[in-house]
Amino acid sequence: MDLGLTGKVVLVTGGSGGIGAELARTFAAEGAKVAVTYRANREAAEVLARECGPDRGLAVHYDLTELASVDAAVEQVTRHWGPVDVLVANAISPGALRKPGKLFEELPTEDCASFINVNIAPVFHTVAKVLPGMREKKWGRIAFISSRAATAGKPGREAYGAVKSALHGFATSLAWDVGRDGVLVNTILPGLTVTPRVAEQVPAAVLERERAITPSGRLSCPGDVAQLAVFLCSAANGNTNGQFAEVSGGR
């Protein structure tokens, strides 16, 4: 099936590793021009950009803690290839995770507030920067990479869950706002996904326990998320808008 992504300009935030890197590879395989953003690991982003193919990959600095960095990233992509056709918002700034043995009330409120602000306002800002070009062309796709933490909480992840839940409210309202301009907005909720970092940091026994209680019999890999994102952000998706899709094997 032709997904109609050849030549489309795709901005993948948080694209230098894990799920983001696989998103970039999968879009590039469909002929898209992919801007891979990084905050600190420039080398990884540049390697991935080269992997995307000649003039199909671009490493772009993007720091959620600085709105000026967001502006500069979108402007760099636009100068290089033209307006962004597809935005995949995958970046998240770490922090405000409660340590084992600590109570929620022991987590400084200012840490929670800072974490929520730095992971919400820049997403709003990024969307605002790319929307004019999408509206003008009467075509665009936006995918938010959220998490099952938005709907299935875990101890210690209160601020993280709040951020992901906020994305859901934003995506739902945005879908109503831009749908008639040919811009479709959807949200993907990965469950436990075995990225290289997860494989390295999570004990094998824990991964096996999670796999055993997953209806599909296996844990998700980054490619599972990327394949869904590519479809939702393609011309093959004609009218799926404002939806939330879990990639969790049925959990």
Kindly report, residue by residue over 149-205, the tens digit of the pLDDT. Answer: 778 877 778 888 889 999 999 999 999 999 999 999 999 999 889 999 889 889 999
Instruction: Kindly tell me if the per-residue pLDDT of 96 is higher than 60.
Output: no
d(CA 22, CA 19): 5
Instruction: Kindly tell me if the per-residue pLDDT of 94 is higher than 80.
Output: no
d(CA 228, CA 57): 21
The alpha carbon of residue 244 and the mean position of all alpha carbons in its chain are separated, in whole angstroms, by 13
Kindly report, residue by residue over 208-237, the tens digit of the pLDDT. Answer: 999 999 999 999 999 999 999 999 999 999
d(CA 204, CA 103): 27
Average pLDDT across the chain, whole number: 93
pLDDT of residue 95: 65
Q: Select, from the ranges 41-55, 88-102, 105-119, the one with the highest average predicted confidence (pLDDT).
A: 41-55
Q: Which carries the bigger pLDDT value, residue 16 or residue 242?
A: 242
d(CA 18, CA 36): 12
pLDDT of residue 19: 95
pLDDT of residue 70: 96
Provide the pLDDT confidence category of residue 249 given band limits of 50, 70 and 90: very high
Provide the pLDDT confidence category of residue 6 given band limits of 50, 70 and 90: very high
Provide the pLDDT confidence category of residue 97 given band limits of 50, 70 and 90: low
Q: Is 62 a catalytic residue?
A: no
- Out of 62, 160, 170, 231, pick the active-site residue: 160
Q: Which CATH class is domain 9-193+221-247?
A: alpha beta
Burial of 116 (0-12, 13-18, 19+ CB in 10 A): middle
pLDDT of residue 112: 84
**What number of CA atoms fall less than 13 Å from residue 206's CA on the CB side?**
9
Give mean pLDDT, residues 24-35: 98
Kindly report, residue by residue over 102-155, the tens digit of the pLDDT. Answer: 788 888 888 888 888 889 999 999 999 999 999 999 999 999 999 887 788 777
Provide the pLDDT confidence category of residue 98 given band limits of 50, 70 and 90: low
